[in-house]
């Protein structure tokens, strides 16, 4: 049996610079230093998106490995110490508990991992987003793996023609379902269109023996902590080429800056702007939400790269469009749909207001037309 490789991306916000827009270079250095000293890894690359640190790691220990998760936890702890020293904003905010208990899932950091036998050539993309939530990947993942107008390979590549299987998680009821495209397309859309609640966790190829193709972080910090502690700012791994979406087909959905939740105070929607790595520092109204894409070739477990895939000028129009959408939405101010619906907002004053104004609420007297008038109206219908 060929040796399997695990690719793990574990991410957390352990202190913003300045406010919630960036990671201080000293935290990046600390993360690199801790990972470099670990004998557990084949290779590692430390990246950031906005104020989130992403640890991109390859190893031979499989997914959910306590040692790898422990290494990520200790790395974030070490970065937190630096963040505290510099008094960075929200130092340690995503480390929700004091003690690590074997798996970072449910403890604050976001995790996406996959184990596979390295192909003769293994191109992968790590997408990292800031100021948004896991459901932000639903539309691009659907377009990449199920929409023939985005991905022509679904029509003309024999390995993709059988379609893909989607593992969809219901974050509210903590349960999952596997649905297959193309025959269950409409069922899939019914769920993933409701992206605050249903998220695509994995995608598997049906033409290539169930090969894992995509893995995303799906934790909702507010669900984990039971209160607002920061935005989830998800990451996503996508394998490309040779019977999977090409690099260009995987990037194409992001040419359309779709609306996602998570801008300002986790309580507003905004366009997801594809950015080059050095421009992924949200500041306008703490946003708008943005995404970077780093491409790697994996060679015997080593991460060759990255290539900054949204640096391409061909994404300039998407950025321009995102800015126009941002201008338009901002003019709505505190009105929905710019502001998220009451049950989706991460900040709210509603309970206090309801309590304070309870006495002033009065019943609305129901004024109904007389019964005979209603009956007459029904007859003439």
Instruction: Count the Cβ atoms, other than its own, within 10 Å of residue 81.
Output: 15
Of 13 and 133, nearer to Mg ion (C-beta) is: 13
Residue 264 binding result from ligand F6R, Mg ion, none, given CB thresholds of 5 to 8 Å by partner type: ligand F6R
| DSSP secondary structure of 131-193 | SS-GGGGHHHHHHHHH-TTT-THHHH-TTTTT-EEEEEEETTTTEEEEEEETTTHHHHHHHHT
**Residues binding ligand F6R (CB under 6 A):** 19-20, 131, 230-231, 264-266, 286
Query: Among the options 220, 231, 233, 277, which is catalytic?
Result: 231
- Conformation bin of residue 90: beta by default, left when phi > 0, alpha when psi is -120 to 50: left
If one asks whether residue 13 binds Mg ion (CB under 5 A), the answer comes out as yes
How far apart, in whole angstroms, are the C-alpha atoms of residue 238 and residue 332?
A: 35
If one asks whether residue 51 binds Mg ion (CB under 5 A), the answer comes out as yes
Interface region with Mg ion, contact rule CB under 5 A, candidates 7-15, 209-217, 309-317, 354-362: 7-15
- Is residue 105 flagged as an active site residue? no
If one asks whether residue 20 binds Mg ion (CB under 5 A), the answer comes out as yes
How far apart, in whole angstroms, are the C-alpha atoms of residue 177 and residue 188?
A: 10
If one asks whether residue 232 binds Mg ion (CB under 5 A), the answer comes out as no
Of 57 and 264, nearer to ligand F6R (C-beta) is: 264
CB of 256 to ligand F6R, least distance (A): 23
- Is residue 228 flagged as an active site residue? yes
CB of 338 to ligand F6R, least distance (A): 14
Give the tokens for residue 206.
């049906």
Look up tokens 């995790």; give the residue.
Answer: 111
Of 65 and 286, nearer to ligand F6R (C-beta) is: 286
Helices (H) and strands (E) in the chain, counts: 11, 15
Of 13 and 65, nearer to ligand F6R (C-beta) is: 13
If one asks whether residue 286 binds Mg ion (CB under 5 A), the answer comes out as no
Of 121 and 283, nearer to Mg ion (C-beta) is: 283
Query: Among the options 89, 228, 308, 312, which is catalytic?
Result: 228
Please answer whether residues 257 and 325 qualify as being in contact, where contact means their C-beta atoms are separated by less than 8 angstroms.
yes
Instruction: State which of residues 113, 130, 232, 286 lies at the interface with Mg ion (CB under 5 A).
Output: 130
If one asks whether residue 346 binds Mg ion (CB under 5 A), the answer comes out as no
Residue 266 binding result from Mg ion, ligand F6R, none, given CB thresholds of 5 to 8 Å by partner type: ligand F6R
CB of 20 to ligand F6R, least distance (A): 4
CB of 51 to Mg ion, least distance (A): 4
How far apart, in whole angstroms, are the C-alpha atoms of residue 146 and residue 330?
A: 32
- Is residue 328 flagged as an active site residue? no
Please answer whether residues 62 and 4 qualify as being in contact, where contact means their C-beta atoms are separated by less than 8 angstroms.
yes
Query: Among the options 11, 13, 201, 232, which is catalytic?
Result: 13
Phi, psi (rounded to 5 degrees) for 256: -110, 110
Of 19 and 25, nearer to ligand F6R (C-beta) is: 19
Phi, psi (rounded to 5 degrees) for 38: -90, 135
Beta strands in the chain (DSSP E): 4-12, 43-49, 52-59, 110-117, 122-130, 164-170, 175-181, 198-205, 212-216, 235-239, 259-262, 268-271, 273-274, 290-299, 302-308
Instruction: State which of residues 43, 65, 233, 249 lies at the interface with Mg ion (CB under 5 A).
Output: 233
Instruction: State which of residues 43, 52, 94, 133 lies at the interface with Mg ion (CB under 5 A).
Output: 52
How far apart, in whole angstroms, are the C-alpha atoms of residue 172 and residue 306?
A: 36
If one asks whether residue 50 binds Mg ion (CB under 5 A), the answer comes out as yes
* Closest chain position to ligand F6R (CB): 286
Interface region with Mg ion, contact rule CB under 5 A, candidates 47-55, 213-221, 252-260, 319-327: 47-55
Look up tokens 């009451």; give the residue.
Answer: 342
Which residues have C-beta within 8 Å of that of residue 234, sequence separation ≥ 6? 110, 129, 132, 133, 134, 136, 137, 216, 217, 218
If one asks whether residue 113 binds Mg ion (CB under 5 A), the answer comes out as no
The most distant pair of C-alpha atoms in the chain lies apart, rounded to whole Å, by 84
Q: Which helix (H) or strand (E) holds 210?
A: none
Of 128 and 141, nearer to Mg ion (C-beta) is: 128
Residue 52 binding result from ligand F6R, Mg ion, none, given CB thresholds of 5 to 8 Å by partner type: Mg ion
- Interface positions with Mg ion (CB under 5 A): 13, 16, 20, 50-52, 130, 233
Positions marked catalytic: 13, 228, 231
């Amino acid at each position: 049996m060929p040796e399997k490789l695990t690719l793990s991306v574990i991410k957390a916000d352990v202190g913003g610079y300045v406010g919630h827009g960036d990671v201080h270079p000293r935290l990046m250095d600390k993360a690199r230093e801790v990972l470099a000293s670990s004998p557990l890894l084949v290779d590692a690359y430390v990246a950031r998106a906005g104020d989130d640190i992403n640890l991109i790691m390859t190893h031979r220990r499989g997914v959910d490995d306590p040692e790898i998760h422990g290494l990520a936890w200790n790395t974030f702890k070490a970065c937190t110490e630096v963040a505290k020293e510099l008094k960075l904003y929200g130092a340690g905010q995503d480390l929700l508990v004091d003690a690590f208990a074997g798996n970072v899932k449910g403890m604050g950091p976001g995790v996406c991992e996959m184990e596979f036998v390295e192909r003769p050539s293994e191109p992968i993309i790590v997408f990292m987003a800031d100021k948004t939530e896991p459901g932000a990947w639903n539309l691009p993942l659907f377009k990449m793996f199920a929409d023939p107008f985005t991905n022509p390979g679904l029509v003309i590549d024999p390995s993709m023609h059988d379609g893909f299987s989607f593992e969809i998680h219901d974050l509210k009821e903590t349960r999952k379902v596997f649905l297959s495209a193309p025959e269950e397309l409409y069922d899939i859309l019914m769920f993933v269109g409701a992206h605050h609640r249903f998220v695509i966790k994995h995608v598997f190829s049906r033409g290539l023996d169930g090969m894992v193709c995509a893995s995303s972080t799906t934790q909702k910090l507010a669900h984990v902590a039971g209160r607002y502690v920061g935005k989830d700012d998800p990451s996503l791994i996508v394998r490309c080429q040779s019977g999977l979406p090409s690099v260009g087909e995987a990037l194409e959905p992001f040419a359309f800056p779709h609306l996602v939740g998570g801008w300002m105070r986790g309580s507003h929607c905004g366009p997801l702007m594809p950015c080059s790595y050095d421009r992924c520092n949200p500041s306008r109204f703490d946003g708008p939400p943005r995404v970077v894409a780093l491409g790697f070739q994996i060679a015997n477990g080593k991460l060759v790269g990255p290539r900054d895939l949204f640096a391409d000028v061909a994404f300039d129009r998407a950025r321009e469009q995102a800015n126009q959408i941002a201008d338009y939405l901002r003019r709505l101010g505190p009105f929905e749909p710019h502001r998220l619906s009451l049950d989706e907002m991460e900040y709210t004053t509603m309970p206090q207001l309801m309590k304070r104004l309870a006495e002033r609420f009065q019943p609305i007297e129901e004024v109904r037309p007389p019964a005979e008038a209603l009956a007459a109206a029904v007859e003439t219908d």
